[in-house]
Amino acid sequence: MASSTTSNTAFTRLTAAYASGRTRPLSWRRAQLDALRRLVMDNREDFVAAVAADLGKPAGETVLMELNLVADEARFVRNRLSVWAARHPKPMPWALQPAAGWTIAEPKGVVLVISPWNYPVLLALAPVADALAAGNAVCLKPSELAPNTTRLLSELVPQYLDREAVCVVEGGPKETGDLLKAPFDHIFYTGGERVGKIVMKAAAEHLTPVTLELGGKSPCFVDGTAVLNVAARRIAWGKFTNAGQTCVAPDYVLATPDVAERLAKRMAVAVTEFFGEHPQTSVDYGRIVNDRHMERLIGLLPAGTVPSAEPSSPLIKAASAVGAAVEMVGRRIGAGAVGDDATTAVSAGRVVCGGTVDREARYIAPTVLYGTSPDAPVMQEEIFGPILPILVVKDADEAIAFINGRPKPLAAYMFSRDRGTRLAFERRTSSGALGFDLPLGHLLSSRLPFGGVGASGMGAYHGKAGFDTFSHLKTVVAKPSFPDTLGLVYPPFDEAKRQLIELIAKLS
């Protein structure tokens, strides 16, 4: 669906607005950030309804994990603008004295923010807040997979923000492709790796810098020193918030043999505590975004867990029964440690809780799998849904080797009270963020940079990191005309000047 602001007109209008200088004054930036806070607070109920229509997301989650975080980000950066945007003096070398040097952050210009569907308010407006704080003109392209929220954003943004310097472009891949043809001064993309590569390739045509907030399989390690009840509840919360459709949700658990099965059972208890005996009736549990993702997730469950969506012939039913029997044997074999020979059988694991679905309602129960094989389909891609496999590892060293053998994740978590184990994870693994006994924590703070590494992304935002992302840090130097001390190092270089240069080098 095309909007009143087309891809072609958006860049032209924003370029003119930025060239006019209207976005540079701190007064303009503060006014826009104040307006952004009013936008989300004044229309709280409308946003809750739109996100519920798009994702089935509970109202409490939308307020806590989206609207409040946008308002907090806008307030945080607004209150620190005068310090961040000021000159920051830097010392100059002896050879140039008397002289002065400083850095100053200037806006990059006209920037493009491409946001995803899973947190359609937060991941659209938090980067916009950082871009406005840095003094840019901003084009926002929300996801077409959250149409109600996108429509609401396109209606509200022109009402609250400077419509000459901030715009929303609706539409799908065609409109996004058209926007990527324009020479933006920065592109900020949140989404999957496949489209991230497309964005980066398009940006290269104009040498446009990019920030890529991608994803990956974020691991979670648990050993025998962890407080198991606390670990189970926190992991369940981090995983099943937004029905698992969170880029930094724990994707899988690596647990030592002494706690793995007990952890799985206690997570099942935590699920019941959070969502009741029948999570489908809970007002606090979300839904899957669309049918395509439903079928993808169903395909990651153990064979035979969910009936086929299509009527099966007797022959197909017989084959399915055989497959389910093979899978059951595989699950029992696959309950050993990751490094055991027994795990050569590919198994998605045993369903400890959940495993039920309702295709029409786009519902998948919070599901915990125990004894999953590293080669199972559920371990070959980012799950991005309410399925949590638990793999058994011998110890922390095996867990670290397992993590390091895969692409660098956006986040990693570990539950252990052993100081040496914590230090090992901090120093021997690489991830966008690392959480000790706390999933999602870095997502909630404007004081901590949020971003990936390697395949999970590049660049960061939130607070000062976001301001820096959308700014060019310009170096400025100055030297008075008198006295012209540079005359001492102008050629020709006689003996006296050579000795002076050597003296300066020693003093530097």
Residue 106 appears among annotated catalytic residues: no
CB atoms within 10 A of CB 339: 14
- Local structure of residue 119 (DSSP, 8 states): S
Catalytic residue of the set 139, 167, 220, 247: 247
Q: Which one, of 430, 432, 452, 463, lies nearest residue 213 by Cα? A: 452
Cα Rg of the chain, angstroms:
27
User: DSSP letters of 141-208?
Assistant: E--TTSHHHHHHHHHHHHHHS-TTTEEE---SHHHHHHHHTS--SEEEEES-HHHHHHHHHHHHTTT-
E-only strand ranges, 22-159: 88-90, 100-107, 110-114, 137-141
CA distance 61 to 195: 27
- Local structure of residue 408 (DSSP, 8 states): P
Q: Which one, of 449, 420, 453, 417, lies nearest residue 436 by Cα? A: 417
C-alpha distance from residue 214 to each of 19, 116, 190, 309, 327 (Å): 32, 10, 6, 31, 32
**End-to-end alpha-carbon separation of the chain, Å?**
62
CA distance 377 to 483: 73
Residue 353 appears among annotated catalytic residues: no
C-alpha distance from residue 290 to each of 55, 287, 368 (Å): 8, 9, 22
Q: Which residues contact 335 (CB under 8 A, 6 or more apart)?
A: 342, 349, 350, 370, 371, 392
Q: Are 38 and 125 in contact (CB under 8 A)?
A: no
Beta bridge partners of 112: 139, 187
What 3-state DSSP class applies to 49? helix
Catalytic residue of the set 61, 170, 175, 213: 213
Q: Which one, of 272, 206, 205, 198, lies nearest residue 233 by Cα? A: 272
CA distance 292 to 317: 23
Residue 431 phi/psi, 5-degree rounding, is -155, 165
CA distance 83 to 241: 36
User: DSSP letters of 191-248?
Assistant: S-HHHHHHHHHHHHTTT--EEEE-----EEEE-TTS-HHHHHHHHHHHHHGGGG--TT
Known catalytic residues?
Answer: 213, 247
